[in-house]
Amino acid sequence: MIKVKDLTLQRNNRELFSGLNAAMAKGSISAIVGPNGCGKSSLLLALAGDLKPASGEIFIDEKNLQDLSDLAQSQLRSMALQERTFWLPMTVREVLELGQTDQAIEGIEQVASDLGLTQLLNNLVTTLSVGQIQRVEIARTLLRECPIYFFDEPFAAQDLASKGALIEIFKRLRSSGKTLVLVVHSEVEQLSWCDQVIQLGS
């Protein structure tokens, strides 16, 4: 359970939004929407503990995020970033293995199959398209076993089929009690599969 209380975020001395209150229940999917530059990704970074609030507080399971160590935070959430570039000639499998536990590494075949990456496992990440790299990033995020998952624009470079497959994966995570927060660029009407939509900057 995530609780956001009177949250104000600033970046480069510019206020993105102020006084935001929100709650994301356990086993739910929340979508953050809003125009470009309204602070969607910044909100996700704040929830992940990477951006310090200008004011207000974030609680995860009743604990103030700021009081949690990096290690404690890492066990709570897994996050897929929006943009990722690789210059090192590592294979997709090697990237997926980075920093993972042995148990997570055993799950690579399954996650790759879910995300249509099986054929690419031995390809170099430097040869992939933007959409494929994004799916690798999502796979990397899903391999980690955490109660909370954050996804920054997971659909941005995906075709309709991949988008559908991703939505199914997200729903499955929700059924298993995970809390999901996504930044998306969809129309609110298309988000009926989400439990709540948090509108920023309107």
Which residues sit at the interface with other proteins, rule CB under 8 A? 45, 48, 50, 70-71, 73-75, 77-79, 81, 84, 86-91, 94-95, 98-99, 124, 126-127, 140
Phi, psi dihedrals of residue 148, rounded to the nearest 5°:
-125, 135
The string of DSSP codes covering 16-84 is EEEEEEEEE-TT-EEEEE-STTSSHHHHHHHHTTSS--SEEEEEETTEEGGGS-HHHHHHHEEEE-S--
As measured in angstroms, the least distance from the Cβ of 16 to other proteins is 18
Q: Give the helix/strand (H/E) hosting 2.
A: strand 2-11
Closer residue to other proteins in complex, CB, 74/186: 74
Closer residue to other proteins in complex, CB, 31/45: 45
Q: What angle do CA 33, 117, 165 make, to 5 degrees?
A: 45
Closer residue to other proteins in complex, CB, 137/194: 137
Closer residue to other proteins in complex, CB, 71/161: 71
Q: Give the span between the Cα atoms of 131 and 115, in whole angstroms.
A: 11
As measured in angstroms, the least distance from the Cβ of 169 to other proteins is 19
As measured in angstroms, the least distance from the Cβ of 52 to other proteins is 13
Query: Are 128 and 120 in contact, with CB atoms under 8 Å apart?
Result: yes
The two structure tokens encoding residue 140: 């990397």
As measured in angstroms, the least distance from the Cβ of 19 to other proteins is 26
Q: Give the span between the Cα atoms of 81 and 68, in whole angstroms.
A: 21
Closer residue to other proteins in complex, CB, 40/191: 40
As measured in angstroms, the least distance from the Cβ of 198 to other proteins is 21
The two structure tokens encoding residue 104: 């997570």
As measured in angstroms, the least distance from the Cβ of 70 to other proteins is 6
Closer residue to other proteins in complex, CB, 81/167: 81
Q: Give the span between the Cα atoms of 139 and 111, in whole angstroms.
A: 6
